[in-house]
């Protein structure tokens, strides 16, 4: 049991780093290639910043939708995916911090 604080600290650091990497690399879900290309064709006269947004699933769905109902479903699915990834990253960061702090406290109590 003398290695428990070290295991807690190591596991906390691993979870903290994994959560931070997920948080930094995450973002809006990407649109599929065909939908992004259709969006780019519609946005070609609106400038480079609008064309760049065509890679985001929600924006591309909005620009290429044929009716409001299908656009709403596509945007909702993209947003749900983004929220789930963000929640998982934040959960890993929180758990990692809790284990790290717990390992440090146990380590100091044993000294």
Read off the pTM: 0.66
What domain range is 19 assigned to?
A: 4-110
Quick one: 55 exposed, middle or buried, by C-beta within 10 A (0-12, 13-18, 19+)? Answer: middle
Number of domains present in the structure of the chain: 1
What is the per-residue pLDDT for 44? 79
Report DSSP letters for the chain, one per residue: -TTHHHHHHHHHHHHHHHHHHHHHH--SPBPPHHHHHHHHHHHTTS-HHHHHGGGBHHHHHHHH-SSHHHHHHHHHHHHHHHHHHHHHHHHHHHHHHHHHHHHHHHHHHH-
pLDDT, tens only, 81-107: 778 888 999 999 999 999 999 999 999
């Amino acid at each position: 049991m003398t290695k428990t604080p070290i295991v807690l600290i190591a596991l906390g650091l691993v979870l903290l780093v994994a959560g931070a990497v997920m948080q930094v690399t995450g973002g809006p879900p990407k649109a599929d290639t065909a939908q992004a290309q259709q969006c780019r064709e519609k946005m070609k006269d609106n400038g480079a910043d609008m064309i760049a947004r065509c890679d985001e699933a929600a924006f591309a769905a909005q620009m290429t939708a044929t009716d409001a109902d299908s656009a709403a479903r596509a945007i909702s699915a993209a947003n749900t995916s983004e929220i789930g990834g963000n929640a998982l990253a934040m959960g890993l960061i929180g758990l990692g911090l809790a284990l790290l702090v717990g390992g440090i406290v146990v380590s100091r109590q044993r000294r």
